[in-house]
Amino acid sequence: MRIDVLTLFPEMFYGVLCSSILGKAVEKGLLTVNLVNIRDFSKDKHRRVDDYPYGGGAGMVMMVQPLYDAILSIKGTDPGAKTIMTSPRGKRFNQAIAKELSTEKHLVLVCGHYEGVDQRVIDSMVDEEISIGDYVLTGGEIPSMAIIDAVTRLLPEALGSSDSLEEESFKQGLLEYPQYTRPAEFNGMKVPEVLLSGNHKEIEKWRREKSLEVTRRFRPDLLEGTRLSVEEERRMQSKNSL
């Protein structure tokens, strides 16, 4: 997959793209990221990319021309590239959207700044607006990094076999069960006996049960899309009445 990132702060991406799974994906050639500095497309002698809003009001607006030309420099060579702008008014990012995006060959991520972007850029060049949640950030860089991260780990062969994607198939939309590693006892706190038993069937059963328990406690809304067995349904009911 190729991702072009249009930003005023390309240096913000260096650490993220060089580390961990993303660093590996880039090294392996599964992901190519092209950082484009929007300022390079300014025609202003001071390299300005923002201006005062028509109609007045606080803050600055990103000008149409530099951003338009920056996007065109990418889309001109690949009109099929999917262009996404990060914005609080966008569709809320989630795992289903990450999956969809991971099937694209070429993404263009536009990182807004200041109070916003001239609407004409969005109208003429942007396919989709995506929000990573209901809070206000100073710019679209961190949302873009979140999207790149979530999408890249879904690319075939991005994850080592040890941290595979099995979770998405059979733990379907549930939160993770609690995890433990050595030692078996720490400050009197013991690892649940079943995990030391070597009985894989029992361990699977325990994990599924804990996943359901954790999900019910922390994110009951996630259970709505989950099919439970009759037995599980019964057990959840009995826990409800405690």
Interface residue list for ligand 4HQ (CB under 6 A)? 86-88, 112-113, 116, 131-133, 135-137, 139-140, 143
Nearer to ligand 4HQ, 144 or 215 (CB): 144
- Measured from the CB of residue 131, what is the shortest distance to ligand 4HQ in angstroms? 4
- Measured from the CB of residue 143, what is the shortest distance to ligand 4HQ in angstroms? 4
Nearer to ligand 4HQ, 131 or 226 (CB): 131
CA angle 37–65–74, rounded 5-degree value: 50
Candidates 201, 199, 209; CA nearest to 177 is: 209
Write the DSSP symbol of residue 113: B
Nearer to ligand 4HQ, 132 or 195 (CB): 132
Pairing type for strands 61-62 and 50-51 reads antiparallel
CA distance 3 to 1: 7
Nearer to ligand 4HQ, 92 or 217 (CB): 92
The first and second tokens of residue 36, run together, are 């484009």
- Measured from the CB of residue 168, what is the shortest distance to ligand 4HQ in angstroms? 23
Nearer to ligand 4HQ, 128 or 232 (CB): 128
CA distance 177 to 221: 17
Is residue 106 classed as helix, strand or coil in its secondary structure?
Answer: strand
Nearer to ligand 4HQ, 142 or 191 (CB): 142
- Measured from the CB of residue 35, what is the shortest distance to ligand 4HQ in angstroms? 17
Which position's Cβ is nearest ligand 4HQ? 112
Task: Tell me the residue ranges of DSSP E strands in 9-168.
Answer: 32-37, 50-51, 61-62, 82-92, 106-111, 116-117, 128-131
Pairing type for strands 61-62 and 116-117 reads parallel
Q: In what order do the strands lie in the sheet with 50-51?
A: 50-51, 61-62, 116-117
- Measured from the CB of residue 77, what is the shortest distance to ligand 4HQ in angstroms? 26
- Measured from the CB of residue 138, what is the shortest distance to ligand 4HQ in angstroms? 7
